[in-house]
Amino acid sequence: MNQPPSVSAQLLNKSGRATPIPLESVAQNSESLIWIHLDRGSDDAEKWLQNSDLDEFVIEALYAEGVRPRCQSHNEGLLVVLRGVNLNPESDPDDMVSIRAWIEENRVITVRQRRIMALTDIQDRLQRGKGPTNAGEFLTQLVEGLSDKMVDVLDSLDDTVDDLEERVLEQPKKLISNRISEIRRQIIRLRRHMAPQREVLIKLQNEKIAWLNEENRLDLREAAESMTRYVEDLDSAKERAAIIQDSLENRSNAQMNRTMYLLSIITAVFLPLGFITGLLGINVGGIPGTKNPNAFAIVCGALLGLFCVQIVLIYLIYRQNKTK
């Protein structure tokens, strides 16, 4: 797959193909759609934007830091900021990448900082002659591309939660707990951007823009519904992860209760025995049996008898509680 150059301009024709053109020769009033792609980290891109005919608020929005999904119409143009999962090598999918676009009827300006697979897909379609032929199609293909890339990530997340549900009673608590915490953080980060993006897509389909036809609006409506399902899937995965976490805590509490119960039994058994032996061991006069050679055996027999009585009492109490 071919990623667009960091600073480039292409002329999109009606056959779904693109012809590279010099950036200096870009004309806004072209009858064909012009796609200008800029890398946010490039000095040439920033210089071109500053010298362009774009309004200042558009330039600021295209270069703003830490933007959330949004859309805003202005003079038959549309400012769109969207997010996609990060599928770059050695990156976390939940570290979502942003794509900023200014779209007019005959001009599209996209700005990105990290590689975005949705733009790569558009570039590949243009090479095969199946790319967008107008601004509305470019917007819908961009939105659909971002949405499609989320499916595999969400399916993988759902499979991971399924696997954890099966292994929750088998694997050590620490391993499962660490994995659950990681999954919950990932869900929170994904939902933080996908929920507002759903609202953006709903707003996009209702924008009063002349170059957005009915077919484009239907595609955007479908993308909004898909995003709604994705958010619901994230909510479901989050709840399931919380249930697994509760199961782990319940298992840990049950183990602790059993341990405390065992310690209580041991304490109940040996506390009286320890009291008696301690009492007999005090260094004062009058201790019975000091001159009897069988006193030690008698005391041991008494302690053994007391021990047996305690065991029987504890067993009877256990049986009584178990039958309730």
Burial class (CB in 10 A: 0-12, 13-18, 19+), 12: buried
What are the DSSP calls for 7-73, one per residue? Answer: EEEEEE-TTS-EEE--GGG--TT-SSEEEEEEETT-HHHHHHHHTSS--HHHHHHHT-SSPPSEEEE
Q: How far apart are CA 153 and CA 91, in angstroms?
A: 13
Distances (CA, A) of 207 to 61, 71, 78, 198, 220: 19, 9, 9, 15, 11
Q: Where in the chain is the domain with CATH 3.30.460.20?
A: 7-250
Instruction: Evaluate whether the domain defined by 256-323 bears CATH number 3.40.1350.
Output: no
Q: Where in the chain is the domain with CATH 1.20.58?
A: 256-323
8 Å CB contact between 143 and 29: no
pLDDT value of position 172: 63
Question: Which numeric CATH code is attached to 7-250?
Answer: 3.30.460.20
Name 78's bridge partners. 73, 103
Name the H helices within the chain: 43-50, 56-62, 117-128, 135-167, 173-204, 214-280, 295-323
Name the 3-class secondary structure at 316: helix
pLDDT value of position 1: 46
* Region label for 16, one of left (φ > 0), alpha (ψ between -120 and 50) or beta (otherwise): left
Name 101's bridge partners. 80, 110
pLDDT tens for the chain, 324 residues long, are 454 556 788 888 888 888 888 877 666 556 778 999 888 877 777 788 888 888 888 888 888 877 788 888 888 889 999 988 887 777 777 778 888 999 998 899 998 878 888 888 898 999 998 989 899 999 999 999 999 888 888 888 888 888 888 777 666 666 677 888 888 888 888 888 888 888 999 998 888 888 999 999 999 999 999 999 999 999 998 888 888 888 878 877 877 888 888 888 888 778 887 877 877 777 776 777 777 778 778 888 888 888 888 888 877 877 777 665
pLDDT value of position 29: 53
One-letter amino acid at 166 equals: E
Q: How far apart are CA 264 and CA 80, in angstroms?
A: 65
Q: Tell me which residue of 121, 24, 109 sits closest to 63, measured CA to CA.
A: 109
Residue 3 DSSP code: P
8 Å CB contact between 121 and 107: no
Burial 176-187 (b: 16+ CB within 10 A, else e): bbebbeebbebb
Burial 98-118 (b: 16+ CB within 10 A, else e): bbbbbbbbbbbbbbbebbbbb
Report the relative pairing of strands 77-84 and 97-103 from DSSP bridges.
Answer: antiparallel
Q: Tell me which residue of 49, 125, 63, 46 sits closest to 98, measured CA to CA.
A: 63
Residue 88 DSSP code: S
CA angle at residue 318 from 312 to 323, to 5 degrees? 130
The gap from C-alpha 297 to its chain's centroid, in whole angstroms, comes to 70
